[in-house]
C-alpha cells in the first residue's frame, strides 16, 4: 500500500507542503468511486462538504503542527451523530430526525483538524456481525469481495482496508470493532469502557457499548484514539512506552472458548506467539474456562438493553426497522427481569475469572475470531466471530486486534487484551508486534 495511505505519513506530507489537502482528498474520492459501488462500505459521501473543509484547512497551514489530525480524511459509522444529518444507525433512509449537534467524538475530530468524508454502512442498530443490512445491502470485504467483512462496523473496516480513508470510527459492543478489523486485515481497538464519550452515539447495549478506532497501523490507531479520548499521551504511547514492553508477562489463552478455533487460525496464532515471545519478559499458557460463558451472559444483557433503547421508536415507526432486528427487539422486550439479573451474575463470573488471570499476567493473547471471514452467501453462525471477543466486552477491558497473517488469502487477527486503564501499554505492545 502507498505510504500516503497512513494517517501519519499524510500528516507529514501536509505539514511539509509536499501534498495539499485537496489533492489528497481527491485521491480518496477517486478510490471511493472505484470501489464503493461493489463494496457498499459507505452509505453517504459528502464530497462538497469535505472539499470545503479541506479548503478552509489549507488556508490554516500555520496551525498544522498543533492540529493532531490536520487534513486527515476519516469516515464515521452510521450510528454516530453529525449535526444536520439523521442518525439512522443502519435503519431505512426515512428513519430519525436530523441531529441537533455533533456527537462528542465528532466534535473532537473537527477540533483536531480531521475531515469527515463519509458515513459508513453497518449492521442495522449494530445488531449483527457480518455487515448484512436489509436497507443498505451487504457490505463486502475489501480483501475478497466474495467474503463478508465482519460487523457491525463493517463499512468502517472495509473502507480502511480498501484505502478509501486511513482512519475510521467504529463502535464495539460484543466485538464490533475488533471482528471486522480482524477479518479485513486492519487494526481495531476497543478502549477501556468509559474512556470515549458516548454522547451522540445511538445505543445498542449501554452497559457494553464503546466507540473505537479502526486504522491501517497501530500508530495511526493510537493517534485517532488520543483524539477520541482527548488524551494526547495515547498518540505517542507506542514509542514512549516501548521500553516497558520487555517487562511484560503474557498469558496465551488456549481452548475453553464458546466456539472452537479453526486449524488455519491456530497455525497463524502459534506463529504470532513465537514473535510475541521475543518481545516480552515471559509467556505462559493459560486457560479460562469461564470465557465459554461470555456469549450466554451477553445475550440477555444486549437483548434487554437494546429493547429498552429502541422499543418506543419501534412501536411508533415499525416501518423504519428490518424484520430481523424488529424480532430481536420484540424478543428482548419479553425477557423477564430474573433472566436479565441471572445474566448479570453470569457476567460477573466471566469477569471475575478474567480479573483473576490478570493477577498472573499483564496481557492476555488469543485469536480475535475463531475463523476467517466466510462467504456472504453462507456466513454461518455468528458465534464463530464473537465468541472470543465478547467476554472482554463484559468487563470493559481494552482490547486490540492486529493482523497476524492469512489463511487461504483471508486475514486473521491477533487479539491482545489489557487491564482496565492500560490502553497505552497495550498500544505499545501491539506496535512492537506490528514491527
Residues with catalytic function: 77, 152, 176
Could you tell me the strand order of the sheet in which 187-190 lies? Answer: 42-45, 115-120, 73-77, 167-172, 210-215, 187-190, 399-407, 410-418, 363-367, 249-253, 282-286
User: What are the backbone angles phi and psi of residue 162, rounded to the nearest 5°?
Assistant: -80, -5
- Separation CA 235–CA 228 (nearest Å): 11
Peptide bond into 152 cis (omega under 30): yes
Q: What is the DSSP string of 165-230?
A: -SEEEEEESSSTTHHHHHHHTSEEEEPPTTSS--TTB--S-TTT-EEEEEESSHHHHHHHHHHHHT
Distance of alpha carbon 274 from alpha carbon 78, whole angstroms: 39
Q: What is the per-residue DSSP string for 65-124? A: GG-TTTT-EEEEETTB--BTSB--TTS-TT-SPBBSS--HHHHHHHHTT-EEEEEE--SG
Cα gap 98→89, rounded to integer Å: 12
Amino acid at each position: 500500500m502507498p505510504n500516503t495511505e497512513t494517517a501519519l505519513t499524510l500528516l507529514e506530507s501536509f505539514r511539509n507542503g509536499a501534498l495539499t489537502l485537496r489533492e489528497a482528498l481527491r485521491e480518496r474520492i477517486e478510490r471511493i468511486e472505484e470501489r464503493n459501488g461493489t463494496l457498499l462500505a459507505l452509505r453517504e459521501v459528502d464530497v462538497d462538504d469535505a472539499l470545503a473543509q479541506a479548503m478552509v484547512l489549507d488556508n490554516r497551514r500555520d496551525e498544522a503542527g498543533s492540529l493532531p489530525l490536520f487534513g486527515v480524511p476519516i469516515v464515521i459509522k452510521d450510528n454516530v451523530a453529525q449535526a444536520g444529518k439523521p442518525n439512522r444507525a443502519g435503519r431505512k433512509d426515512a428513519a430519525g430526525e436530523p441531529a441537533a449537534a455533533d456527537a462528542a467524538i465528532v466534535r473532537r475530530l473537527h477540533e483536531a483538524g480531521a475531515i469527515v468524508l463519509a458515513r459508513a454502512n453497518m449492521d442495522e442498530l449494530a445488531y449483527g456481525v457480518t455487515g448484512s443490512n436489509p436497507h443498505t445491502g451487504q457490505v463486502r470485504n475489501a480483501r475478497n469481495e466474495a467474503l463478508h467483512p465482519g460487523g457491525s462496523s463493517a463499512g468502517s473496516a472495509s473502507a480502511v482496508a480498501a484505502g478509501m480513508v486511513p482512519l475510521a470510527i467504529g463502535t464495539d459492543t460484543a466485538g464490533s470493532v475488533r471482528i471486522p478489523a480482524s477479518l479485513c486485515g486492519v487494526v481495531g481497538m476497543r478502549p477501556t469502557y468509559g474512556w470515549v464519550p458516548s454522547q451522540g452515539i445511538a445505543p445498542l447495549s449501554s452497559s457494553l457499548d464503546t466507540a473505537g478506532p479502526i486504522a491501517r497501523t497501530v500508530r495511526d490507531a493510537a493517534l485517532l484514539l488520543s483524539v477520541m479520548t482527548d488524551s494526547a499521551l495515547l498518540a505517542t504511547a507506542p514509542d514512549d512506552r516501548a521500553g516497558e514492553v520487555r517487562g511484560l508477562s503474557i498469558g496465551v489463552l488456549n481452548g475453553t472458548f464458546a466456539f472452537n478455533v479453526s486449524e488455519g487460525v491456530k497455525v497463524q496464532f502459534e506463529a504470532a506467539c513465537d514473535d510475541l515471545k521475543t518481545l516480552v519478559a515471559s509467556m505462559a499458557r493459560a486457560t479460562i474456562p469461564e470465557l465459554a460463558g461470555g456469549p450466554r451472559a451477553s445475550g440477555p444483557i444486549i437483548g434487554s438493553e437494546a429493547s429498552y433503547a429502541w422499543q418506543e421508536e419501534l412501536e411508533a415507526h415499525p416501518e423504519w426497522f428490518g424484520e430481523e432486528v424488529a424480532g430481536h427487539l420484540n424478543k428482548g422486550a419479553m425477557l423477564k427481569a430474573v433472566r436479565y439479573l441471572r445474566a448479570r451474575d453470569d457476567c460477573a463470573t466471566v469477569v471475575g475469572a478474567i480479573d483473576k488471570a490478570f493477577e498472573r499476567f499483564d496481557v492476555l493473547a488469543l485469536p480475535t475470531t475463531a475463523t476467517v471471514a466466510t462467504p456472504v452467501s453462507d456466513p454461518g453462525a455468528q458465534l464463530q466471530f464473537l465468541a472470543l471477543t465478547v467476554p472482554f466486552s463484559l468487563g470493559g477491558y481494552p482490547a486490540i486486534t492486529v493482523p497476524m497473517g492469512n489463511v487461504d488469502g483471508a486475514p486473521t487477527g491477533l487479539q491482545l487484551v489489557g487491564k482496565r486503564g492500560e490502553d497505552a501499554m497495550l498500544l505499545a505492545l501491539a506496535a512492537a508486534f506490528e514491527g
